Structure 1
Amino acid sequence: MTQTVNLDWNNLGFNYMNLPYRYRAYFKDGEWQNAGLVEDATITINEGSPVLHYGQEAFEGLKAYRCKDGSVNLFRPDQNAKRLQKSCQRLLMPEVPTEMFIDALKQVVSANKEYIPPYGTGASLYLRPFIIGVGENIGVHPAEEYIFSIFAMPVGNYFKGGLTPTNFLASEYDRAAHKGTGQAKVGGNYAASLFPGQQAQQQGFSDCIYLDPIEHKKIEEVGSANFFAITKDGKFVTPDSPSILPSVTKYSLLYLAEHHFNMPVEETDIYIDELDHLAEAGACGTAAVISPIGGFQIGDKFHVFYSETEVGPVTKKLYDELVGIQFGDRKAPEGWIVKVDEAKL
């Protein structure tokens, strides 16, 4: 049985923690090199690095889960690898091969094994891969050198209260533009969300909901998570837009709704003046998992979905199925779970 450090596993929250090891690789002269685990959490880069001036960077987020039998699961890491590759394509950065990406994840999890939260706590080991453009540069063009790294930290719930409904505010600001970088997981999208997110929180909301950047009539994203809803006739629906980040969690829920629970599913427009046909709603993502949305403030109107205090039954069913698969308690679709080498744990 793997020994763990002495932490309050049931009250972790979502906060940075400096663990002993992280993975780092350097791209130079057209190839990835000097890859491996390091102990130093500090990265030293040139002051002209494109990441500092032009935001040339991308990142991912996924988790490792301790199972009841002591083994450790990675949930669909190939999908995170593919999404990072697409982000790199968008920002003209070298791609991290899927095999290299997954191997690096396994190394970080194994090296920090005592920080993997015990089974039954509901907590997990969050993994943050990222790639940044570095080197001597000042012109607006891609870097010639890059750093790829992955660090980890044990986490609890992203939103306070966990699977408890919270309220959100429709923002007048845009998260990303159509044909912009909305479908890439890049820092600029998140920098743009800081101010509207703070505004929402200052007014007592968990975060803001972003509407389409053209007309502000359709729901797009919920803070840094994707939006989904259950219609009153039992359909799983989620917004369809060229500026939405394709969430691994959302597409997993789409699959589970259709194939495990025989629900009709659809990516479609969700108009803010047509919410009465929605029975339940929530935010979903790797960090948030599923966060039920109780109410939604749009201008001077406040719309309640299922309840401001209780989780809707379909949302709860989907949550239990997804989390059950991640922690190894329920059968996963083929290829969804990658085991970390148990010999190294």
Structure 2
Amino acid sequence: MAAANGTHAREERQKPDIDWKNLGFSYIPTYSHVEYKWRKGQGWDDGRLVKEPYMNIHIAATGLHYGQSSFEGLKAYRMKDGKVRLFRPDKNAERMQISADAVCMVAPPPSIFLEACRRVISDNIDFVPPYGTGGSLYVRPLLFGSGPQIGLHEADEYTFLVLVIPVGEYYKGGVSGSVKALIRNKLDRAAPHGTGHAKLGGNYPAALGPVNEAVKIGYNLLLFLDPATHTHVDEFSSSNFIALTSLDAEGRRTYVTPQSESILNSVTNRTLREIAEKRLGWKVEVRKVPFEEVKKGTYSEVGACGTAAVISPVGTIGYEHEDGRIEEIKIGDGSVEGWKALFKEFSALQVGEVEDWEKWGYHWPAEGI
């Protein structure tokens, strides 16, 4: 029997029977999700835990008609001390505010964002993979206009929910091998001065068709150049672009990533930069990256970074010319030693295997769940 606050009694629950070491990255039903509503003149309610993975949505909801929708992706880990903590959720809360502002939505304040994450993780604690399995609990906050509006106006009601899914290690055993990326001729991810900097649902479906077409001819993902001049690197279809130079005379590399108004401010990228500089002693450059640098072999390693895989090494970039011919550019000699070193540090920090992990302030709540 459901409790009054929307939870269902723990003693009635059947514990999940999951092969933790063989988890993939796909939807798995859990006990509940958490849902909050904002209504004009009332503000945010106190939220509730909901057992059913379905909801009633008004047929005129702005999230359906006008794309008022934003989402985030982050992970919670059962760490070395046995406690469960989220990795840098404050940065995701900040980014959701930026995304909401871009399309005139009311974002939950950070206090509600964090509270919602804690509530849903606590209620689904049985689904957090054990320490040492390489798995984590993927946390997906979603904000959308749920109030009806037929004219092009903001909604008078917004729904904020958080769902969780246990997921496995994207690359078994860490980073290895590489994928192929393709730059399509006359295809842009975002418009100049548009919403490419925001994590909006509407930014993603336009690439689905082109990605499927690219896969058919042997490429795994798309790489986009800047929409204004098509001369500088922006980002991949769902990940930031990152690159490394070879070791210099002092045994250091340079970590390079594009500076652009059209790309998403990745929490993973930000973390990798900080680890590269503070733990590995590498140089870090956030600047405009001419595609010509990639073509002439400036970088020994190129990668796509994001929440799911952290780092996906890219070994080949195909450039489609106007006549349809694809020119393939090989990256370095195929080595991913730089990415392996960075991934190792990142992964150890995520699960509390680094001695000074508490000093970084990346994990919340500090006391654990």
TM-score range, shorter chain: over 0.9
Read off the aligned partner of 2:280 and give its amino acid letter: F
The change in CA–CA distance for 1:327 and 1:98 in structure 2 (over 3 A counts) is: same
Alignment pair present for 1:78 and 2:104: no
Alignment pair present for 1:154 and 2:154: no
Alignment pair present for 1:59 and 2:71: yes
Q: Deviations over 1:152-198 (max 9, x none)?
A: 10112557996231111113321111211111100111112211211
Read off the aligned partner of 1:284 and give its amino acid letter: C
Read off the aligned partner of 1:297 and give its amino acid letter: G
Q: What is the aligned partner in structure 2 of residue 111 from structure 1?
A: 123
3-state SS of paired residue (1:180)? coil
User: 1-side partners of 2:123 and 2:238: how far apart?
Assistant: 29
Alignment pair present for 1:102 and 2:114: yes
CA contact (8 A) 1:171 1:211 kept: no
TM-score normalised to structure 2 length: 0.87
Read off the aligned partner of 1:293 and give its amino acid letter: V
3-state SS of paired residue (1:297)? strand
CA contact (8 A) 1:28 1:145 kept: yes
Q: What is the aligned partner in structure 2 of residue 17 from structure 1?
A: 28
Q: What is the aligned partner in structure 1 of residue 213 from structure 2?
A: 199
User: 2-side partners of 1:301 and 1:161: how far apart?
Assistant: 32
3-state SS of paired residue (2:119)? helix
RMSD (Å) for aligned C-alpha atoms: 2.0
The change in CA–CA distance for 1:307 and 1:222 in structure 2 (over 3 A counts) is: farther
Read off the aligned partner of 2:221 and give its amino acid letter: D
Alignment pair present for 1:42 and 2:54: yes
TM-score normalised to structure 1 length: 0.93
CA contact (8 A) 2:107 2:143 kept: no
CA contact (8 A) 1:220 1:227 kept: yes
Q: Which runs of 5+ in 1 are unaligned?
A: none
CA contact (8 A) 2:300 2:333 kept: no
Mean CA deviation greater in 100-109 or 74-83: 100-109
User: 2-side partners of 1:281 and 1:67: how far apart?
Assistant: 30
3-state SS of paired residue (1:125)? strand
Counterparts of 1:240-255 in structure 2 under 5 Å?
Answer: 240-255=259-274
3-state SS of paired residue (2:204)? helix
CA contact (8 A) 1:235 1:266 kept: yes
The change in CA–CA distance for 1:130 and 1:176 in structure 2 (over 3 A counts) is: same
Read off the aligned partner of 2:364 and give its amino acid letter: V
3-state SS of paired residue (1:278)? coil
Alignment pair present for 1:315 and 2:339: yes
Alignment pair present for 1:334 and 2:360: yes
Q: Deviations over 1:204-263 (max 9, x none)?
A: 222111111122222211220101001234211001110100000101111111122221
The change in CA–CA distance for 1:18 and 1:136 in structure 2 (over 3 A counts) is: same
Q: What is the aligned partner in structure 2 of residue 124 from structure 1?
A: 136
The match for 1:229 among 236, 243, 247 is: 243
User: 2-side partners of 1:103 and 1:34: how far apart?
Assistant: 10
Mean CA deviation greater in 165-174 or 246-255: 165-174
The match for 1:280 among 290, 293, 301 is: 301
Alpha-carbon distance, 1:9 to partner = 2.2
Alpha-carbon distance, 1:341 to partner = 5.9
Q: Report how many residues are paired.
A: 339
Alpha-carbon distance, 1:270 to partner = 2.0
Read off the aligned partner of 2:254 and give its amino acid letter: K
3-state SS of paired residue (2:106)? coil
Read off the aligned partner of 1:28 and give its amino acid letter: R
User: 2-side partners of 1:160 and 1:242: how far apart?
Assistant: 34
Q: What is the aligned partner in structure 2 of residue 292 from structure 1?
A: 313
The change in CA–CA distance for 1:187 and 1:162 in structure 2 (over 3 A counts) is: farther
CA contact (8 A) 1:58 1:187 kept: yes
Read off the aligned partner of 1:169 and give its amino acid letter: L
Alignment pair present for 1:266 and 2:280: no
Q: What is the aligned partner in structure 2 of residue 167 from structure 1?
A: 180
CA contact (8 A) 2:33 2:120 kept: yes
Alpha-carbon distance, 1:288 to partner = 2.4
Q: Deviations over 1:248-286 (max 9, x none)?
A: 010111111112222111112222222211011111111
Percent identity over paired residues: 41
Read off the aligned partner of 1:252 and give its amino acid letter: T
Q: What is the aligned partner in structure 1 of residue 145 from structure 2?
A: 133
Read off the aligned partner of 1:20 and give its amino acid letter: Y
User: 2-side partners of 1:11 and 1:225: how far apart?
Assistant: 24
User: 1-side partners of 2:76 and 2:86: how far apart?
Assistant: 5
3-state SS of paired residue (1:319)? helix
3-state SS of paired residue (1:174)? coil
User: 2-side partners of 1:156 and 1:26: how far apart?
Assistant: 31
